[in-house]
Chains A and B, each alone.
Chain A
Amino acid sequence: MESNKNLGEFEMLVLAAILRQDGDAYGISIKQDIEERTGRSPSLGALYATLSRLEKKSLVRSRIGDATAERGGRAKRHYTIESIGQKLLEQSVQALRNMTDGVVSWSFAI
């Protein structure tokens, strides 16, 4: 695992959304969280490509959930962030903050 490597912007958004949902995160919930908080509307393809990449880097893990009627009987894939993923997310946010301190006015605390 390349723990000293920073994340891409979309990877950071996805990891943050997973972290916020505390084990219940899945495709649509992650997508909606990103939409509500950033105004971006990621495609499901981009989202799953990123989730797959994060899982291969062992930053998140997934488990298959139950099938529901509103999903046409198809199962959810739930994602949970790993501790190394959380650490890398914090490092990446800090790196971004270090780079933008004094240039961009931060209106929130990290």
Chain B
Amino acid sequence: MSEQGQRALPLLARFLIGILAGPLYRDHVLGDLQEELHLKGSASQSRLWIWQQVFAAIPGLVILRTHDLDLRSIAVTTLLTLVAYGLLVLLGQIVTRPILMSMRDSFSGGPSWDYLYFYMLVRLPGVFLVGALFALVAYRPSQSSHENFARRLAPLLLVLILPQIWFIVAADQIEFVAGRIIRAVADGVVLYAGAGAGFWLKLRLSDK
């Protein structure tokens, strides 16, 4: 309850409505709900009433956020992404694998094939997705992608890269320095590319 005896909307309800209504309508939908609650007075069932309103609003708010989405573009983008991933796997088999094989044979104690496959097929796509999701949630459309990178993504990049530095410096694995540096650079580039994709998607969604 507020100072005026006015019941405030539950935090989770505000969060749900805020996420679903989007920046254009968030304040108006929440304001309407708050005003309707105020008009109802302090009925004992008001908490139940609030949640009924929130759940009833969800389908409409989903339509509000999605009715302008260009589904054809999304389908084409998804298809192109899958094709690009397929090409990457193919490239890994035809080009990257022989290079890595040659590198591995040149150094003692290099990474196992299991790890290399895990790295190419799971870790890098995972880093891409993390970057995309992070940008989708945390990036601010009012700032450029470089500003967002410097202010938001850089700490996440450090979290990814610091273990590689730790392995080289603290864990006495100086002989793997080349591999660690390559992995750190690859992580960074893929994370940045993922964040770029997520930011692009966020800008498209905020245009609606």
Give the B-binding residues of A (Cβ under 8 A).
26-28, 31, 43-49, 52-53, 56, 67-72, 74-77
Is B63 among interface residues, defined by CB-CB distance under 8 A?
yes
* Interchain CA distance A27-B53 in the complex, whole Å: 14
Report Cα–Cα, A68/B9, bound state, in Å. 15
Of the 9-residue stretches B30-38, B131-139, B167-175, B188-196, which lies at the interface with chain A? B30-38
> For residue A27, which residues in chain B have a CB less than 8 angstroms away from its CB?
28-29, 31-32
**Alpha-carbon distance A82/B61, docked complex (angstroms):** 24
Contact of B34 among A31, A52, A72 (CB under 8 A): A72
How far is A61 from B173 in the complex, measured between Cα atoms in Å?
Answer: 66
Q: Which of B32, B56, B60: most chain A CB closer than 10 A? A: B32
A70-B60 contact given A49-B67, A75-B27, CB 8 Å threshold: no
8 Å CB contact of B35 from A47, A56, A71: A71
Query: For the complex, is B80 an interface residue (Cβ under 8 Å from A)?
Result: no
Q: Are A49 and B64 in contact, CB atoms less than 8 angstroms apart?
A: yes
> Which residues in A have their C-beta under 8 angstroms from that of B6?
69-70
Compute how far the CA of A81 lies from the CA of B70 in the bound complex, rounded to whole angstroms. Answer: 27
Q: How far is the CA of A55 from the CA of B104 in the complex (A)?
A: 62
